[in-house]
Structure 1
C-alpha cells in the first residue's frame, strides 16, 4: 500500500502529513460579508426597528431577536443604509438566517 503525503502549511511551517477525508471534504472558511447581518442563534423576531432605504448610524438598533428568553438587540455595525430586510416580525428563524442587508451611504 502506497501512503500519500500532502504538504500542509501551518503558521509558516511546512509539514508532510496524511490528511483525513473529513479534513479534505470540510467546508472551507470564508470571511463574513460585513453587509449581510445573520442570526448567530435561533430565535423569534420580536420587533423590526428600521425600514428599507432608511439611513442608520453605527450602534442604532435594527431589530430585536428573542432567544433563550432574552431580547437581543441587533445593532448596526457601521453607519449606512438598509438595503433589504429578509425577515418579518414574529418569524421564528434558525441560526445563520440572513436578516438584514446593509450598504454604505452614498458619497455626497
Structure 2
C-alpha cells in the first residue's frame, strides 16, 4: 500500500492507510497503528486499539511528488492546496518548501529536491487536486530538457464529388478547413486528378485533387483562408 509523506506541526511522518470502513480508518504512522473515528448522525461502536502513544517524527523527504530529472512537481496524493510560498521566477534551495498540501486533515510539505528556479505554477491556493496532477515545474542544472517530438502532420487524399452536373467547371471544398497551400495559379493547366490545393482539417492535411481538367481561370482562395464544405476554390475555363 502506498506510503504518504506528511508534516504535522513541523514534524515529518510516514503514513499509510491500513484499514478503512464507513465508521473508522486504521492508519499506520511510523510503524504504529492509529484509529481515526468517522463520525455520523448515529455513532456506532468502534473498536479501540492499544499502543496509541505519540508517533516518532521522521526525517524530511525532499523528493515527494517530484519526478527525478523532469522538473515536474506532481501531486503525490489527492487533496487541497493550502499554501504556495513561492512565486514564478523565485530561486529555491534544496529542501525548501514550495507547496503545502492538505489531505485527510493533515498537511504535507512538498520540497524542492535540488537548487532550482520556479518555472510555471499551475495551481492556486485552495485548489483541489488529484494524485498525479501537475502542480509546478522547476528549472535548473539538475533538470533534463524534455525531448519534445515535432508533431507529424498526416496527409490524406480527399475525394471530390463530381459537382459539374449543371455544367459549371468549379472545384469546390469537399470538407471544411483551412487552406495550407494552393498548388496552381491562374492560367495554369490542370489534368483531372492533379493536386490543386492542400487543406487542413482536424489537424490533418488533405490533398484536394481537381475533379475536372482545364485551364485555371480564377482562384477564390489563398493560403490561410478558412472554407466551408461546398465553397468554390478554383474555376476553370469553359
* Fold match by TM threshold 0.5: yes
1:34: Cα distance to partner?
Answer: 3.3
Shift of the alpha carbon at 1:40?
1.1
Change (3 A) 1:57 1:32: closer
2:112 counterpart residue number: 76
Of residues 61, 65, 74 in structure 2, which corresponds to 1:38? 74
Could you tell me the TM-score, scaled by structure 1's length?
A: 0.65
How far apart are the structure 2 equivalents of 1:58 and 1:65?
A: 18
| 1:44-59 alignment, distance < 5 Å | 44-59=80-95
- TM-score, normalised to structure 2, is 0.30
Structure 1 SS opposite 2:76 = coil
User: What is the match of residue 187 of structure 2?
Assistant: none
Rounded Cα–Cα distance in structure 1 between residues aligned with 2:127 and 2:117: 23
The residue aligned with 1:99 is 135
1:29-74 deviation per Cα after TM superposition (whole angstroms, max 9, x unaligned): xx86530010111000001000000000000000100011110000
Q: RCO higher in 1 or 2 (8 Å CA, sep ≥ 6)? A: 1
2:139 and 2:83 mapped to 1: Cα distance?
A: 21
Unaligned runs of 5+ in 1: 1-30
Structure 1 residue runs of 4+, over 4 Å off? none
Uncovered stretches (5+) of structure 2, i.e. residues with no partner: 1-66, 142-238
Backbone CA RMSD of aligned residues: 1.5
Greater C-alpha Rg: 2
